[in-house]
Structure 1
């Protein structure tokens, strides 16, 4: 069945058919059409591939990326945008924000599609069917976790805060249309239960599927993140250990690491789960990378509109942090746009923004704007374990994992003595390394807020437009706009939904 799955994935006609079927069957709200039953294994397999295809829809992958990434401090928007991008970046969210509404609708569409498969397969089914049930449990858990992260406050700020509606299987159509927001704790509990069951149902190790699909280790990797965000450090370590010790993944080294995002994801030993885009699925100017880069397929930067919009850059703050170690291999992900050796600036904002392009979402398989966005990779799992150990007082264990990442980056490691003389805590060191390693992958602002730390911008960007040219912006972890508004269109349809303050 695994070979058949991959055949479906790489066959464009089957993907398009499955995606269009999902579009017709599931509305952007939580409504479910029960008219199409899953009666055979082939139906179930095709439906599962269709659900994966929904993840690739720009309304999901593009909107979710902007909601998770743009509020961070490793990037700078160089010009105001007529798109909802500026509001995501500047913390001036609206109840009618397009990206929040698009992501909400697509996420629940994935959950509704997954529910049909989950309901159709008994827990005592054959191994192949249990694998498919596990994949759908994972997909349902993942989208609920992403939803509660975007629309609910961090777990560590209070487990009784409002999260998002839980769309589980077995609900009537009327129930799905009147779901209230569950608490953050209830959503986390639901996600964890799904992921633990998914890990038990799916294959792992050599029998596990390639990284565009879910497998045992994919569920375990997400469990490590979920438990870390919950503040359950023992379980965050437990699941990180399972992934690291599985032998399925390796940290890429040297030039392979520097070219991490340029190859086909199936050959990447570090990627645990990604949203696969093939050459024929290049989004061009609508792709994520178009916002971050404009240049040729060889990585030579050009002015805006050469190959993309090129209006969001690595922040001066982040570039300066990397510059503390000029040999840091992570500099390979930053491409300055220079003319005759002079770094250019985007002059649409004052102070002007340096045009340091970022290429984590470009140049896959020699196509300028093609990428398969990475959702989970091994480096994060090491850093999850490092953060959990830091919080448990296991300082040396935390530094050991941080140093694995720093050694791979080609820079000196930390010692307990060097941390002590720096005036930083072990947790500070871990969070700094998460920032350096996982930049532009949707982690940073949430890493800060869930640890009760402010997000500080002290560099040029469009945030200065809200302060008369002042480049300094601080967002406290208690601020209302740490989370996005529930889309007003959903509240209009479901009066039980309560808006975020």
Structure 2
């Protein structure tokens, strides 16, 4: 048949790319067909699968599509880079960053599938650990995919479409999209398997039992299963394997390698050999004194004002104004330059960063949100205050059940604290829409027309079709079983 001439980009990824072709330390992979013959090479192929996470097509594009769509950031000009369409919600069906992320995510999934088909059960604890890591990576990839292309779980998971579930290596199938509910079920299944297979002996550069528990806590929270979210967040918090970075060290959190950071649970580890230079995440957020970095995406007035409510909050130091000689804030196209520092200066390298995917501070706030939704307001406030105290806040800056400082509910308190603690970490957009809350951008930026001095206003309702991106157009053309998002 004529349609057999056309193979979707997803299938090209399954057929034409080795999941282990990226050879950058510490993830030095081997060709996947080696492991099919010799299980002793399972570690090498697994490392190759990790390598796909840190490829810019995956980690940078995921960041762009989630964080740039929040109210934390303000773009200071127009650009032909497709990041502009993610930022201003003017999504395109043929948007290059969605296509690149989709392909890279399914490369990773296929790399995992090859491992799991070749070695379905490990005969040694070391092999079981590696199999668990692969299950974790597949769960992570599907969770990231469904958050970009599928609507929030609360909005109709049984009927809304997510992404295709491909669980075995294949070069012949033309898979249809599964529902959001089905994708979440697979994510949970993979995480539970990973949890049962792994231990906690590896660093935060690798999946562990605690990393699987932490991701399960997040997934269950997104799915509205608050008792399970509480259980797994609590397990990580009480494990004794992690501790909150001290207040004095918090502003330098992201300049430390993740493996030296006691709070990080899982990060996409980058070494100097992996430095993406001008293509790094941090390049858009910061320009070094030596001129390295575009420095065109700034901290929004909204997040700056939120930090300004409590001047003692050391988290405000993650934002750095670019100052002129006279002490005024420099501008670009009329927009004030407030650099974001969470993706710069790891190990003293301006553009080097190991993006943190899971950390203990987030687990306290997952537990807090679950507690609030379960009606345990005192426990929720206690966890929020733990995070606020770590940020340097004391006395009247702390909450009590009887003093919510003008907030309408304990849940509102928790969500604001998530905003403060996890700003620029791919949380805010998802936190709003998964709770059926609208996104309001009432500050200057190129997300709206009106010139650089205008106040700017953009409202993205939780029900808006562009809460999610389009499935890549070439995928829907070449695979007629894929239904496009409205």
Q: Same fold (TM over 0.5)?
A: yes
1:382 aligns with 2:364: yes
Secondary structure (helix, strand or coil) at the match of 1:272 reads: strand
1:493 aligns with 2:462: no
Q: Any conservation in 2 of the 1:163–1:184 contact (CA below 8 Å)?
A: yes
Q: Any conservation in 2 of the 1:86–1:462 contact (CA below 8 Å)?
A: no
1:294 aligned residue (283, 287, 295): 287
Change in Cα spacing, 1:331 to 1:134, as seen in structure 2 (3 Å) is same
Counterpart of 1:90 in structure 2 is 88
Counterpart of 2:267 in structure 1 is 274
**Aligned positions of 1:370-449 closer than 5 A:** 370-411=352-393, 412-419=397-404, 422-449=406-433
Q: CA deviation at 1:121?
A: 2.1
Q: Any conservation in 1 of the 2:163–2:180 contact (CA below 8 Å)?
A: yes
Backbone CA RMSD of aligned residues: 1.8
Counterpart of 1:243 in structure 2 is 236
Separation (CA, whole Å) in 2 of partners of 1:362 and 1:129:
35
Q: CA deviation at 1:245?
A: 1.0
Q: CA deviation at 1:343?
A: 1.1
Question: Which stretch shows the higher mean deviation, 226-235 or 326-335?
Answer: 326-335
Q: CA deviation at 1:14?
A: 7.4
1:66 aligns with 2:51: no
Q: In the TM superposition, what whole-angstrom CA distance separates every residue of 1:403-453 from its partner, at most 9, and x where no partner exists? A: 00000001121111211x614210110000000000001010110011111
1:330 aligns with 2:315: yes
Secondary structure (helix, strand or coil) at the match of 1:442 reads: coil
Counterpart of 1:39 in structure 2 is 37
Structure 1 unmatched runs, 5+? 1-7, 23-34, 297-301
Separation (CA, whole Å) in 2 of partners of 1:53 and 1:179:
25
Q: Any conservation in 2 of the 1:56–1:276 contact (CA below 8 Å)?
A: yes
Q: Any conservation in 1 of the 2:35–2:45 contact (CA below 8 Å)?
A: no
Structure 2 unmatched runs, 5+? 1-19
Q: In the TM superposition, what whole-angstrom CA distance separates every residue of 1:336-384 from its partner, at most 9, and x where no partner exists? A: 001121012222xxxx322110010000000111000000111111101
State the TM-score, normalizing by the size of structure 2.
0.91
Counterpart of 2:177 in structure 1 is 181
State the TM-score, normalizing by the size of structure 1.
0.89
- Give the number of aligned pairs: 459
Q: CA deviation at 1:493?
A: 2.0
Q: Any conservation in 1 of the 2:42–2:115 contact (CA below 8 Å)?
A: yes
Q: In the TM superposition, what whole-angstrom CA distance separates every residue of 1:202-251 from its partner, at most 9, and x where no partner exists? A: 012xxx21001000000000000000000000000010011111111100
Secondary structure (helix, strand or coil) at the match of 1:45 reads: helix
Counterpart of 1:165 in structure 2 is 164
Q: CA deviation at 1:127?
A: 1.0
Secondary structure (helix, strand or coil) at the match of 1:357 reads: strand
Secondary structure (helix, strand or coil) at the match of 2:347 reads: helix
Q: CA deviation at 1:465?
A: 2.5
Counterpart of 1:215 in structure 2 is 208
1:54 aligns with 2:52: yes
Separation (CA, whole Å) in 2 of partners of 1:259 and 1:153:
35
Q: Any conservation in 1 of the 2:263–2:361 contact (CA below 8 Å)?
A: yes
Q: CA deviation at 1:254?
A: 2.1
Counterpart of 1:343 in structure 2 is 329
